[in-house]
Amino acid sequence: MSGGRTGTGAVVFACMDADTLGGVQRVTHTMAQGLAERGREVHVIGLHRAEKPFRYVERPRYTSHVIHRTPVGRLSRLGRRRERRALGRLLREVGPGFAVLASPSVVTRIGNLLPEWLLPIGQYHGSYEHARGSWHLGSVRGHYGTLEKAVFLSEEDAWLFSEHALLPNTWSIPNPLPAWPSRTAELTARRVLGVGRLEGVKRFDRLISAFAEACGRPAPGEACRDEALVEARREAGEDWELHLIGEGAERGRLMSHAAACKVSDRVVFRGAVPAARMGDEYRGGSVLALSSEHEGLPLVVGEAASYGVPSVAFDVSGGLRSLVLDGRTGVLVPPADVGALATALAGLMASAEERRRLGAAARAHVEAFRPDRVLDRWEALFDQVTR
Amino acid sequence: MVITYNDAARLARAVRSVLRQSLRNVEVIIADDASTDGTEKVARELQRGDPRVRYLRGEVNSGGCGVPRNRGVAAARAPYVMFLDSDDELTRHACKSMLLEIERTGADFVTGQISRLYERTGKTARYYPALFTRRRTVEGIAREPEMFLNSFSTNKLYRAELLRRVPFREDMHYEDHVFSTALYCAARRFAVVPWVVYLWHRASAESESRLSISLCLTEMANVRSRIRAARLSDDILRDSGLDGLGGLVHERQRRFIRQDLRVYLNPLPSRDPAWIEEFVSVIHPYLAELDPVVFETVDPLLRVCCSFILDGRPDELLVAARSLNGPKAPPRAAVREGGRTYWGTVADERREITSLRMAELPYTASRLRHEAVVTGEGAVIRLEITTYDPFGVLDANPGWTAFLRFRNHRVRLEPRPREGEDGYASEATIDLAAIRHGRLGFEGRYDPVVEIVNPDGRVTSDRLLVDPSTASFGMTVLWHEVVVRAEGTAAFLRVLWRRQGVLRQLPRLKRAATRLLRRVSGPEVKLRVYKGLISVLPPRTDLALFESDVGAGYTGNPRYIYEELRRRNAPLKVVWSIAGTGGRLPPDVRPVRRMSWRHIWTMARAGYWVDSHGMPLAYPKPPGTRYLQTWHGQGIKSVGFDAPDLRADFDGPRAAWRAAVERWDALVSPSAEFERVFVPSNGYRGRLLRHGSPRCDVLVHGDREAARRAREELEIPHWSRVLLYAPTYRDRAKGSGQSVRADLASMAEALSGDWTVILRTHPVERFEVPEHLRHFVRHAGSYPEVNDLILLSDALLTDYSSLMCDYAVTGRPMLFLIDDWDEYRRVERGVYHDLPAIAPGPCLTTTEELIEALRDLEGLTASFASRYIAFRRTWCADEKGHASAKVVDSFFPPAHAQAPRPAGVRERAPAGVRQLSRLPLLGRPR
């Protein structure tokens, strides 16, 4: 076991629903399995049943529990009482240790139902920017300060929460990568990857615009000033394709947007790809582009990096900045600056050497996100809590 | 380290707050300064209960905090130390959070926020939060001399070795002031954390304002100790070599005035004259030593107080101290000379109060000083009021009348000029037993005011200052207990009512009723009933439901469409949905409270819906009802599915909006540009009415009367030019006041002789104009009709508000303050147009530029003429001044939009009538 230590104390992970397909859930099961393999007693609690359950770990060495038979939704008074009883019964059996509460909803729901021998740790899986735009900031400010620790995705986010939510107990641990590949990408394929659900928040429309511009096909409204530059890009961008991997409600709008940008022939809508085959996708790409409105710690960037694929992204959160060191392991451009994204894309599309330089550095950089390393950080956190 | 002396009752609470720390590895040292009560017993018990507790007992009481602290520091085994007084508490993460911070930063000490906890109310208030906003490391006090304001020894975590180098003085009180100065001199680096680490328990506020005589006597010794501490601190600073040009000493002395002196000035109004005289003589020598520059930057009223101490005028000091807090009353007399205002009867520059701008306020905001003497007998109270008019407000409004107002009860006053003295005297007698505040009585409090009504009917009012030592008197009147008392340190009159007897149960019954009501008429029930109603009831074609700006009032496109219908005598009954207070409506329009049962009923029955935002989201339109969506603006901001609230992670809001848009039967489209942008981004596919905006008709035609009315209503002098400042909101900071980005204070400084600003904030924004700007800024966020403001104004200042497109109709100059343009267009909101490229006026980023631009408005206007034309071509090409008429023509069938024609003309059956064959959902209505 590389760098692993065994600690004492049980760990309970609690999510709203633990078995739906989603980032929070995947991280939770990865951590649960990792800590159980290190000899801890681990439980994963889903407060609600998943509508489409997904199996994250083939042979779990932890115990799973589901409290309600209903999917996530409002609880009746009776449901609340049932929840209190069921949790009480369940947690009485768990030895002293830590309860990791995955989101503001979980913290408010069960934060004060925990027995005193389970020390509560609250997690927040979004960026500070995201929390600020929703009810999350108020909830985190109101409820996380009394927990043993409030864990955020990056140093920067933890800092912002300590300043703006006045939390005295912030800490940061990144989410782990699912695996660590041995074989990396060749970076010779003329393919830009966009990975994520086709939803408004991912702003793939901006990526399509930027890709079109990088291929020397600027949108009619924003005619590129410099003819020579357009020509150079057209040449360098020849045969390049943008592969969008994911499914969602925006597909129609995005397709017509691609047509409006005159890159329908270059943008490939690949639909959803199973996690097991994502490795091949990363190995078949040369650049990963991320154009989201906001992101917490976008693991697609980390995964791509683990395959040696550099990323180009909008600089939207502390989490992103912890994954990509601008100019050294990828390129960050100002949020929503499509022109700058296009320039960055064009730069990488034009130079395989630059892709290799950034890609190799990116892979080295994201070693810190390997499951073992992240597990070590959790162990350090547990030590910190009981200090 | 908990120091204690005779505090058995609270010691355990303090110690437990340490034992409960999230940092488990702590040692608690109770340093007892030879208590004689049960403190020792409590401490020994705590020691038995937890091995982490140690108890150090002094043999003789030292009379201060220095000895026990030093003793504790000497005994401490830990590398880091915190102090805690036995009546206060640490917050749960105080130790661990500051320990991690000191380890991370390598600072000599870490300091965090103190929060006062008022035991009577349980409320907390952070102490000088501005000092702690940023989490940071400060390389020495010289970098941030403001931190002298943070001179407690308690809200800090120290390296123990540092404490041993900087011991507490043991021969004096306020040793922590001296200690803090020495500490700041000794620390090369300290860290500041923004969260609350220390809870300072405050007993009830009343015991503070009413001090017993003996306490007052010991207080004079306190004053002396504080001055001694201040002198010692100054010396330490001078000797430290940090104080380059005397700047740091001055900063610390300013702290003395703002903090130490203020401690005595706040309760000064309740002292007797002899005490005040002695106080002045004790404090005078120290203040006289200070360099005059020290006073220059302190708050003007505090500076006035200092000047009276320096002049040895205890009587005047008392008058000034009564203005420091509470209503912050104006002076008894003031002098105006050369545009400057001075406190008192002579123009002494130390007493200049121009920056408070009290003398230049509009009538309704103007300030008078009413000092009252209250006496009571039974339920009858008698007030003798002296009214001072330092700024000549009364003289400028001959024919004024005065009233004394007790909530809804008003008594006429007959003030007469006082003989041989300034001001007016009046008396009033109020029989509380005769006052009725509501049918079911009243519970609550209010501050009686004197109202001065001028001949125009405008009212200005001020609270009544009373002697803070006035004993509060209570009485029982018809089902109530009433208390009349002096409130606060700069005391003003306050009346508290409490229901008695049967009425006492009223609030409880009311709460129960509300709970019940909520269960039987909550939003879900309403929606269900509504759906039932629309499935059985046909809409009435002679009934129209209007709403503007989600119930804001009678304004916008719906207003002008309604007025057009009225002009035509259309046979339509109009109901207007109003949220909140709503403002004035024409007499033949019936108001209905938004989301009330009557509103639900009207929604279900109305044959026409006309609004400018959206009827309640989840409510489907009744089959047969026709919905005219008039929308409320056009411009550069992203809208619909492109706007931040709809492009977020969750799909619910998008689906709800899609369904809401589906309800529209026709959409008022003001321009081709609107159709290019708005229509696709909301996924609208229905009919468009391209006739311009009904609300802009009046801007095309003009309306002098409306402009005159607005000027009068807002009390804008006739000579003043008017700048309408209408910033839009920021999506991620709604209600924060952050959208007001111009520096109004420096604008006032530069422009107040020439301009008046009308501040029109967005309805979702909250902003209060401070008093010292009210001479220059009129807040018109809730003024009922924005068109009147547009018509009144000489120029518009905005950022990204859609108002710019309406304003362009007038052809008047526009300025744009867009300092956060990049943030706004990329992240905050998103835009469709490059504003700097198309703006019909200068795009500015600082207030200085703005002031420059306003000074040369004519020149600027000329240079933007062609851009202005292009801008109008884009957005205002269809504004011809007849939009209301055309919209009514094309949306309403002639039968509903025209007065009934003489008999004999046949009409078709109304389009809204439906067959009643469908099965009713909720059973047949009775």
Q: How far apart are CA B135 and CA B154, in angstroms?
A: 19
Give the residue from B20, B21, B22 with the most A CB atoms within 10 Å of its CB, the best one to mutate: B22
Whether A246 contacts A267, CB under 8 Å: no
**Which stretch of DSSP H or E encloses residue B49?**
helix B39-49
Q: How far apart are CA B755 and CA B747, in angstroms?
A: 9
Q: How far apart are CA B518 and CA B525, in angstroms?
A: 9
Q: How far apart are CA A153 and CA A113, in angstroms?
A: 25
Q: How far apart are CA A64 and CA A53, in angstroms?
A: 13
- Confidence label for B915 from pLDDT (cuts 50, 70 and 90): very low
Residue type, A348: L
Q: What is the mean pLDDT of residues B140-165?
A: 88
Cβ of B651 and A146 within 8 Å? no
Residue tagged 């990509």 (tokens): A324
Q: What is the mean pLDDT of residues B69-74?
A: 88
Q: Is B491 left (phi over 0), alpha (psi -120 to 50) or beta?
A: beta
- Geometric angle at alpha carbon B618, from B888 and B556, rounded to 5°: 35
Residue A322 is encoded by which pair of tokens? 């912890």
A7 pLDDT higher than 70: no
Closest CB to A162: pick one of B194, B654, B827.
Answer: B194
N-to-C CA span, chain B: 76
B316 pLDDT higher than 60: yes
Q: How far apart are CA B769 and CA B757, in angstroms?
A: 11
Contact list, A251 vs chain B (CB under 8 Å): none
Give the residue from A103, A169, A206, A341 with the most B CB atoms within 10 Å of its CB, the best one to mutate: A169
Residue A212, C-beta contacts closer than 8 angstroms, at least 6 positions apart: A218, A219, A261, A262, A263, A266, A342
DSSP one-letter code for B241: T
Residue B911 is encoded by which pair of tokens? 């389009």
Contact list, A201 vs chain B (CB under 8 Å): 647-649
Comparing alpha-carbon positions, the chain A residue that sits nearest to B113 is: A166
Q: What is the mean pLDDT of residues B106-133?
A: 90
Percent residues over pLDDT 90 in chain A: 40
Interhelix angle B847-855/B744-751, rounded to 10 degrees, is 30
Interhelix angle A338-350/A204-214, rounded to 10 degrees, is 50
Contact list, B92 vs chain A (CB under 8 Å): 146
Torsion of CA A245, A247, A252, A256, to 10 degrees: -10
- Geometric angle at alpha carbon A106, from A102 and A109, rounded to 5°: 165
For B472-510, give one letter per residue: b (16+ CB within 10 A) or e: eeebebebbbbebbbbbbbbbbbbbbbbbeebeeeeeee
B598-635 pLDDT tens trace: 999 999 999 999 999 999 988 999 999 999 999 999 99
B926 pLDDT higher than 50: no
Cβ of A334 and B97 within 8 Å? no
Is residue B110 helix, strand or coil? strand
Pairing of strands B666-668, B687-689: parallel
| CA-wise closest residue to B194 among B144, B139, B130 | B130
Q: How far apart are CA B842 and CA B853, in angstroms?
A: 8
Cβ of B97 and A168 within 8 Å? yes
Q: Detail the DSSP E strand segments found in B86-233.
A: 89-90, 109-118, 124-126, 136-138, 156-159, 190-202
- Confidence label for B651 from pLDDT (cuts 50, 70 and 90): confident
How does the average pLDDT of chain A come out, rounded?
A: 87
Q: Is B34 left (phi over 0), alpha (psi -120 to 50) or beta?
A: left
Q: Count CA atoms closer than 13 A to B883's CA, side-chain side.
A: 31
Residue A139 is encoded by which pair of tokens? 């909830």
Q: What distance in Å separates residue A267's CA from the closest CA in chain B?
A: 22
B234-243 pLDDT tens trace: 888 888 877 6
Closest CB to A386: pick one of B24, B648, B732.
Answer: B24
B101 pLDDT higher than 70: yes
Residue B445, C-beta contacts closer than 8 angstroms, at least 6 positions apart: B494, B495, B496, B497
A161 pLDDT higher than 50: yes
Whether B577 contacts B601, CB under 8 Å: no
How does the average pLDDT of chain B come out, rounded?
A: 88
B914 pLDDT higher than 90: no
Question: How much is the pLDDT for A295?
Answer: 86
Cβ of B651 and A249 within 8 Å? yes
Percent residues over pLDDT 90 in chain B: 55
Contact list, B523 vs chain A (CB under 8 Å): none
Q: How far apart are CA B395 and CA B879, in angstroms?
A: 48
Question: How much is the pLDDT for A321?
Answer: 92
Q: What distance in Å separates residue B452's CA from the closest CA in chain A?
A: 44
Q: What distance in Å separates residue B2's CA from the closest CA in chain A?
A: 22
Cβ of B826 and A148 within 8 Å? no
- Measured CB to CB, residues of chain A less than 8 Å from chain B are 132-134, 145-146, 148, 159, 162-163, 166-169, 199-201, 203, 249, 293, 334-337, 385-387
Question: How much is the pLDDT for B384?
Answer: 94
Comparing alpha-carbon positions, the chain A residue that sits nearest to B24 is: A387
Question: How much is the pLDDT for B920?
Answer: 33
Residue A138, C-beta contacts closer than 8 angstroms, at least 6 positions apart: none
Give the residue from B649, B654, B831, B838 with the most A CB atoms within 10 Å of its CB, the best one to mutate: B649
Q: What distance in Å separates residue A335's CA from the closest CA in chain B?
A: 6
Q: What is the mean pLDDT of residues B371-397?
A: 92
Cβ of B93 and A199 within 8 Å? no
Question: How much is the pLDDT for A334?
Answer: 86
**Summary count for chain B: helices (H), strands (E):** 33, 38
Least confident interval from A310-319, B168-177, B183-192: B168-177
Higher confidence at residue B514 or residue B136?
Answer: B136
DSSP one-letter code for B892: S
Least confident interval from A313-327, B91-105, B644-658: B644-658
Least confident interval from A148-152, B272-276, B374-378, B684-688: B374-378
A157 pLDDT higher than 70: yes
Question: How much is the pLDDT for A2?
Answer: 39
Give the residue from B95, B98, B135 with the most A CB atoms within 10 Å of its CB, the best one to mutate: B135
Comparing alpha-carbon positions, the chain A residue that sits nearest to B98 is: A168
Phi, psi for residue B814 in degrees, rounded to 5? -130, 145
Cβ of A134 and B648 within 8 Å? yes
Cβ of A387 and B644 within 8 Å? no
Integer CA distances (angstroms), B105 to B21, B79, B110, B189, in order? 22, 16, 9, 9
- Confidence label for B169 from pLDDT (cuts 50, 70 and 90): confident
DSSP one-letter code for B623: T
A32-83 pLDDT tens trace: 999 999 888 899 999 888 888 888 888 889 999 988 888 887 888 888 888 8
SS (H, E, C) A143-156: HCCCCCEEEECCHH
- Confidence label for A21 from pLDDT (cuts 50, 70 and 90): confident
Closest CB to B97: pick one of A146, A169, A200.
Answer: A169
B21 pLDDT higher than 60: yes
| CA-wise closest residue to A258 among A294, A210, A199 | A210
Give the residue from B17, B24, B93, B199 with the most A CB atoms within 10 Å of its CB, the best one to mutate: B93
Residue A371 is encoded by which pair of tokens? 């499951």
Q: What distance in Å separates residue B69's CA from the closest CA in chain A?
A: 26
Cβ of B644 and A159 within 8 Å? no
B424-438 pLDDT tens trace: 999 999 988 888 887
Contact list, A341 vs chain B (CB under 8 Å): none
Q: What distance in Å separates residue A386's CA from the closest CA in chain B?
A: 7
Cβ of B23 and A387 within 8 Å? yes
Q: How far apart are CA B392 and CA B335, in angstroms?
A: 10
User: Any alpha helices (H) in chain A, and if so which ranges?
Assistant: 23-37, 77-92, 104-110, 128-132, 136-143, 155-164, 204-214, 227-236, 251-260, 278-283, 299-306, 318-323, 338-350, 352-365, 371-385
| CA-wise closest residue to B818 among B783, B789, B853, B793 | B853
Q: Is B504 left (phi over 0), alpha (psi -120 to 50) or beta?
A: alpha
DSSP one-letter code for A370: S
Residue A4, C-beta contacts closer than 8 angstroms, at least 6 positions apart: A38, A372, A375, A376
Cβ of B830 and A336 within 8 Å? yes
Whether B628 contacts B694, CB under 8 Å: no
Q: What is the mean pLDDT of residues B840-844?
A: 95
B194-215 pLDDT tens trace: 999 999 988 764 444 444 444 5
Closest CB to A336: pick one of B92, B731, B827.
Answer: B827
Q: How far apart are CA A108 and CA B45, in angstroms?
A: 36
Comparing alpha-carbon positions, the chain A residue that sits nearest to B732 is: A133
Q: What distance in Å separates residue B132's CA from the closest CA in chain A?
A: 9
Pairing of strands B424-431, B380-388: antiparallel
Q: How far apart are CA B484 and CA B477, in angstroms?
A: 13
Give the residue from A119, A128, A132, A163 with the most B CB atoms within 10 Å of its CB, the best one to mutate: A163
A252 pLDDT higher than 90: no
Q: What is the mean pLDDT of residues B694-700?
A: 94
Contact list, B25 vs chain A (CB under 8 Å): 387
Q: What is the mean pLDDT of residues B152-171?
A: 89
Residue type, A254: L
Cβ of A336 and B648 within 8 Å? no
- Measured CB to CB, residues of chain B less than 8 Å from chain A are 22-25, 91-94, 96-97, 112-113, 133-135, 193-197, 641, 644, 646-649, 651, 654, 731-732, 822, 825-827, 830
Residue B638 is encoded by which pair of tokens? 């992203």
Most confident of B416-430, B509-523, B901-915: B416-430
Pairing of strands B449-453, B401-406: antiparallel
Q: What distance in Å separates residue B66's CA from the closest CA in chain A?
A: 30
B215-260 pLDDT tens trace: 555 678 888 888 999 999 888 888 887 766 567 888 889 989 998 8
In which order are the strands placed within the sheet that holds B573-578? B590-593, B573-578, B540-547, B606-611, B626-629, B666-668, B687-689
Q: How far apart are CA B78 and CA B1, in angstroms?
A: 11
- Confidence label for B536 from pLDDT (cuts 50, 70 and 90): very high
Contact list, B97 vs chain A (CB under 8 Å): 168-169
B923 pLDDT higher than 80: no
- Confidence label for B910 from pLDDT (cuts 50, 70 and 90): very low
